[in-house]
Structures are given as C-alpha cells and as structure tokens.
Amino acid sequence: MKCRITTLVENCVYGRKLQAEHGLSLYVEAGDHVVLFDTGASDLFVRNARLLHCDLQRVDYLVLSHGHSDHSGGLEAFLEVNKKAKVICKREALDRKFKGERENGIKNAERLDMSRFIFVEKTTEILSGIWVFPDLPVTDENDTHFEQFLVRRDGQLIPDRFEDELALVLKGIEGMIVLSACSHRGITNILRTICSYFENIRMRMLIGGFHIHNSPKEKCDVIVKGLKELFPEELGVCHCSGVDKYAFFYSQWGDMVFYNHTGCVKDLELLDYSRPKGGF
C-alpha cells in the first residue's frame, strides 16, 4: 500500500503561494483511498489543496481529530466542495468547547447536515488499512494537556478531558503510520493504546502535534521518556508542538525528526494485505 501524506495546513509554511494558519489539515492517500484528517481553522486548506494538486472531491471520509475550531473551522467549506464524503468523529466533538471564556468548538454545529456524520466509539477499520482509534485511555496523567480547556455539559462548564479525541492509523502487515492532531490525552498514552492493539507492528512514522508549545520541561521529559520506548522510525513534529519543541526533539534524535510544515509531502510504502476490507 503506497501512502502519501500531504500537509494542507499547519502553523508554518515553506513554499511559494502557499499560506499557513494556526491549525492542521492532512490529505492522506493510502492505496486507492483518500482521507482528510482535519480541516484547519478556515477554508485555507481548500486553496492550498489546489496548489498542491490534492483533489478534495476524491476524499472518501473526513476524520475530525477533535472538536476544536483550529481543526474543524473548514468543515462547512469541505462539505460544500465534497458532496459525498462522510464525516467521522466522536459524538462529543459537537459539544460546545471553550478556552477560558473564548468559545473554540465547531462553528455553526446546529446548521450541519447530521446525515453526513458517522459517530465512532470503538477502534474501527474505516477503509482497507485505515483505522480510527476513538478510545484513548489515559494511563499517565503527566502526559495530558487539558489546562484552561472547558466543555459545556448539562448546562455547566466543566474541565474538558477531550473524550472527543481520536487518532488515525495507516497499517500494513509489518508497519504502520500514526497521525495525532493535538494529543490532548497525551501522545504516549495514544501510542501505548495503538501499540497494544497492533502488537509487534513497526511504527514507521508518527506525525502529530503534542500540545507542548510553551510547556514546562517536565512535560517534554515525559514525552521523551515515552518515545524512547515507542520511538517511530520517523517523527514529524507540527502544529501545537511549537518550533521550539521541534528543535528540542531534533537535538535528541537528529535526522529521524522533521518539521511537518504546510506543503510537506511524505511518501511511504506499507506491505499491504491481500484481502479487500473496510468501509461502513
């Protein structure tokens, strides 16, 4: 299975005419299938997709990592561009979310066509070799990133533990690629869950935001310790990790680490299954 991951939107940009914003959107090609992982904060991903020759009408599913606006802000624009794809997320992604007093959840959720949504609660192979992990237990509270985030439940604002978060995995017989957008529940917790499910499968690549920009050193140390046990062959750092923390990870592992900027394209081949599979 040939895999290509094109970053349509990220906080930084290298490339003529492309633009960046605080957000994340990945165009994921795996074999004959295409999945869009998040939409960034606006319709910018649509314009960048044209420049990067990524056809949004080919997308089979839009997978939302969680309900924050910097990952779902382009949702309405996507539903206009692509009339067939379903949206895969957890039901909690539609909850009203806040950072302090500022609302930062999915915009205009009440106007969305719910017939286009598929809500997932358990690990599911949505297409051949493409998996979503919506059940991400927190085994290490030290690697969580919940500070200042709130969610409205039963008319009250309570601390948000990001029950809406999910990860995306591309898996062949002997290797896998893990995509995690913000890792609020902790990238080490997420990787332990995935590696327990897919035992003895090499992690060829991890791309994600780890929500540690401006975090104290203790938060980074927890991730470094966890990654030493579960380190992928390539680590793509982006979005809410911060360029400063990319430099920190690079100092630890050198060229195994790359910054996954707007316009970044990564190609990888995973040994494929011989059987057809997947789909709702």
Cα 163 to chain centroid, rounded: 15
Please tell me the distance from the alpha carbon of residue 121 to that of residue 98, in angstroms, as a whole number: 23
Question: At which residue do the structure tokens 């540690």 appear?
Answer: 212
Burial of 114 (0-12, 13-18, 19+ CB in 10 A): exposed
Does the pTM surpass 0.85? The reply is: yes
Which contacts qualify for 194-198: CB closer than 8 Å, 24 or more apart?
Answer: 194/133, 194/167, 194/169, 195/230, 197/123, 197/133, 198/169, 198/171
- The one-letter code for the residue type at 57 is Q
CATH class of 2-269: alpha beta
| Cβ–Cβ < 8 Å for 170, 176 | yes
In the chain, where are the structural domains located?
2-269
Please give the pLDDT value at position 184: 98
Please give the pLDDT value at position 174: 86
Please give the pLDDT value at position 273: 56
pLDDT in tens, the chain (280 residues): 999 999 999 999 988 899 999 999 999 999 999 999 999 999 999 999 999 999 999 999 999 999 999 999 999 999 999 999 999 999 999 999 999 999 999 999 989 999 999 999 999 999 999 999 999 999 999 999 999 999 999 999 999 999 999 999 999 998 999 999 999 999 999 999 999 999 999 999 999 999 999 888 888 999 999 998 888 999 999 999 999 999 999 999 999 999 999 999 999 999 875 444 556 7
Measure CA of the first residue to CA of the last residue in the chain; give whole Å: 20
Which contacts qualify for 112-115: CB closer than 8 Å, 24 or more apart?
Answer: 112/75, 112/76, 112/79, 113/79
Strands, E, within 50-114: which ranges? 61-63, 86-89, 97-99, 102-103
Please give the pLDDT value at position 197: 97
Which phi-psi region, left, alpha or beta, contains residue 210 (left: φ > 0; alpha: ψ -120 to 50)? alpha
Please give the pLDDT value at position 279: 63
Please give the pLDDT value at position 278: 55
Please tell me the distance from the alpha carbon of residue 145 to that of residue 190, in angstroms, as a whole number: 13
